[in-house]
A and B are shown apart, each in its own frame.
Chain A
Amino acid sequence: MSDHKINPNKWIDLYSDYLFNYTITRVNDRAIAQDLVSDTFLAGLKSMKNFKGEASERTWLVSILKRKVIDHYRKINSNKGKAEVRMSYNADSETEGDWLEERVADPFDKTAEDQIENTELANAIDDCLSKLPKKQAQIFEMKTILNYETETICNELEITASNLWVIIHRARTAMAGCLEKNWF
């Protein structure tokens, strides 16, 4: 029955980006998101025996994370034991006391829809990255997402610059092909 194996040694490398992206769009605070992801991994570790292998590891971890996010909101809303939804419309002290109408966001700014699209895009990019050969994905990520210098990558992986550009080119072509259907 168990089609999926569990192996916590690789969790951070494989899933931390995906889970972080999932969390950051829901809690909107980097520090809190990081804590929640970390908590999720620890909780996963503790309840590893309960993993039945019906879903993939990632799905399983996301389901834990979901509970963690809900718990987080529950906690901040019950600080005084009141069933009250606490929202700070604007944390900025400069605008404190302004009427809400004056604080309405710029309609051309980020909207909820953008946020959703952003999450979907990030997941799509993640999926496409995981389809690339390992070395290509690693180099593409270092160069494009983490913004490493060409030299740094070359030194670290002991490859030549022209070698790097060939790999980047292949990765970019593959990524563009993978994202083409939905995102171009």
Chain B
Amino acid sequence: MFMKKFMISCEESGHICDKAQYKEASIIEKVKFKFHTFMCAVCRQHSKNNTKLTQLIDSIKGNQLSISEKKELKTSFEKELQKHQ
């Protein structure tokens, strides 16, 4: 009974892993995930790559235009564009 609850498929483990990258996985899910990766080398590697991807993206975040900045840029450019057409 206990085992059945905590055994998850690789698919589900991948799903939890994705959720965890956005800090949206619950504690129970994390326990299941840990349990799964303890046994499954493929998911362990996948989780490692997935975390690395998150780190890489986090490290460039400051260099990105925010949504409002982009909008501002867009409106001012479109005004100019209309004059040209």
Are B56 and A121 in contact, CB atoms less than 8 angstroms apart? yes
Known A-B contacts A12-B74, A12-B77, A20-B65; the reply to A121 vs B60 at CB < 8 A is yes
Chain B stretch 54-70: residues in CB contact (< 8 A) with chain A: 54, 56-57, 59-61, 63-67, 69-70
Q: How far is the CA of A150 from the CA of B19 in the complex (A)?
A: 10
Are A144 and B60 in contact, CB atoms less than 8 angstroms apart? no
Cβ-based interface call for B34 (8 A): no
Would you give the 0/1 interface string for A130-166, flagging 1 where the beta carbon is closer than 8 Å to chain B? 0000000000000111100010000000000000010
Chain B stretch 38-68: residues in CB contact (< 8 A) with chain A: 49-50, 52-54, 56-57, 59-61, 63-67
Q: Which residues of A contact B65 (CB under 8 A)?
A: 16-17, 20, 34
| Total contacts A-B at CB 8 Å | 84
Are B56 and A183 in contact, CB atoms less than 8 angstroms apart? yes
Are A16 and B70 in contact, CB atoms less than 8 angstroms apart? yes
Q: How far is the CA of A118 from the CA of B61 in the complex (A)?
A: 10
Q: Could you say which of B15, B53, B63 contacts A25, with CB atoms under 8 Å apart?
A: B63
Q: How far is the CA of A144 from the CA of B22 in the complex (A)?
A: 8
Q: Could you say which of B18, B59, B64, B73 contacts A21, with CB atoms under 8 Å apart?
A: B64
Q: Give chain A's interface residue range (CB within 8 Å of chain B).
A: 35 or more
Are A38 and B77 in contact, CB atoms less than 8 angstroms apart? yes
Cβ-based interface call for A9 (8 A): yes
Would you give the 0/1 interface string for B10-53, flagging 1 where the beta carbon is closer than 8 Å to chain A? 00001100110110100000000000000000000000011011
Are B49 and A20 in contact, CB atoms less than 8 angstroms apart? no
Q: Which residues of A contact B19 (CB under 8 A)?
A: 165
Q: Could you say which of B14, B60, B74, B80 contacts A169, with CB atoms under 8 Å apart?
A: B14
Q: Could you say which of A16, A24, A42, A146 contacts B80, with CB atoms under 8 Å apart?
A: A42
Contacts A/B (CB < 8 Å), 8 sampled? A8-B84, A12-B77, A16-B65, A34-B65, A45-B81, A122-B60, A165-B19, A175-B53
- 6 smallest CB-CB distances across A and B, nearest first, come from A122-B60, A20-B65, A176-B49, A21-B63, A12-B74, A176-B53
Extra A-B contacts (6), CB below 8 Å, given A144-B57, A150-B22, A165-B15: A12-B70, A20-B64, A21-B64, A45-B80, A146-B67, A176-B49
